[in-house]
């Protein structure tokens, strides 16, 4: 079955998730390094399959508020990671993004390119006014990505996420439609 691309960058495409992507997702979701700043993981195969099915089910909702894309390399069709955009408030045209890259591809600019593509999608196609993102204050790599795509750090949300070993603060970033 052909995998339809949705958004094309210079080195990547973002395409809709398909059920058979679970193995590529599991390749990074099963790694402690990839899930270090997340409330989930490392995943078992069953947990990854459940996650993929939940994301596929969310894509069928109307109105749709969750847009989960796999990040695929153009040169080798390798699944590099994923990026997600969620409409958190339809009335106020607000959404949030998140991304994850397989650790073997960290530092290569794929998260930045994927975030830029999904921000444009959010503003131009979904007509959002504000898009925000959070990251652990300890996750310098993710903070750099958010700054590179033009997001402004708004502050720190204290005890924002319940993690495996306690609560985590989150740095809050945002960008408005006229700032892209």
pTM, 2 dp: 0.93
Two tokens at 41? Answer: 């993981």
Residue 6 has a pLDDT of: 87
* Residue 1: pLDDT band with limits 50, 70, 90: very low
Rounded distance between C-alpha atoms, residue 173 and residue 131, angstroms: 9
Q: How is the chain split into domains, by residue range?
A: 5-129
pLDDT digits (tens, 9 = 90+) for 111-168: 999 999 999 999 999 999 999 999 999 999 999 999 999 999 999 999 999 998 999 9
Burial of 114 from C-beta contacts in 10 A (0-12 / 13-18 / 19+)? buried
Rounded distance between C-alpha atoms, residue 133 and residue 120, angstroms: 15
CATH 3.40.50.970 fits 5-129, yes or no: no
pLDDT digits (tens, 9 = 90+) for 68-85: 999 999 999 999 999 999
Computed over every residue of the chain, the mean pLDDT equals 95
The answer to whether residue 5 scores a pLDDT higher than 70 is no
Contact 55, 74 (CB under 8 A): no
DSSP characters over 77-139: --EEEEEEEEEEETTTTEEEEEEEE-GGGTTSSHHHHHHHHHHHIIIIIS--SEEEEEE-TT-
């Amino acid at each position: 079955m052909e995998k339809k691309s949705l958004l094309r960058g210079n080195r990547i495409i973002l395409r809709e998730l398909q059920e058979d992507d679970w193995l590529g997702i599991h390749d990074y979701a099963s790694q402690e390094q990839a899930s270090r700043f997340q409330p989930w993981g490392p995943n078992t195969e069953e947990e990854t399959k459940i996650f993929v099915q939940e994301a596929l089910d969310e894509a069928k909702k109307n109105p749709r508020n969750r847009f989960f894309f796999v990040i695929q390399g153009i040169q080798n069709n390798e699944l590099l990671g994923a990026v997600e955009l969620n409409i958190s408030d339809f009335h106020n045209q607000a959404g949030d993004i998140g991304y994850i890259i397989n650790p073997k591809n960290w530092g290569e600019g794929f998260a930045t390119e994927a975030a830029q593509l999904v921000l444009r999608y959010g503003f131009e196609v979904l007509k959002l006014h504000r898009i925000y993102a959070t990251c652990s204050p300890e996750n310098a790599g993710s903070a750099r990505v958010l700054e590179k795509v033009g997001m402004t750090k708004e502050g720190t949300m204290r005890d924002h996420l319940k993690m495996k070993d306690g609560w985590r603060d989150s740095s809050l970033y945002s960008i408005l439609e006229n700032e892209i």
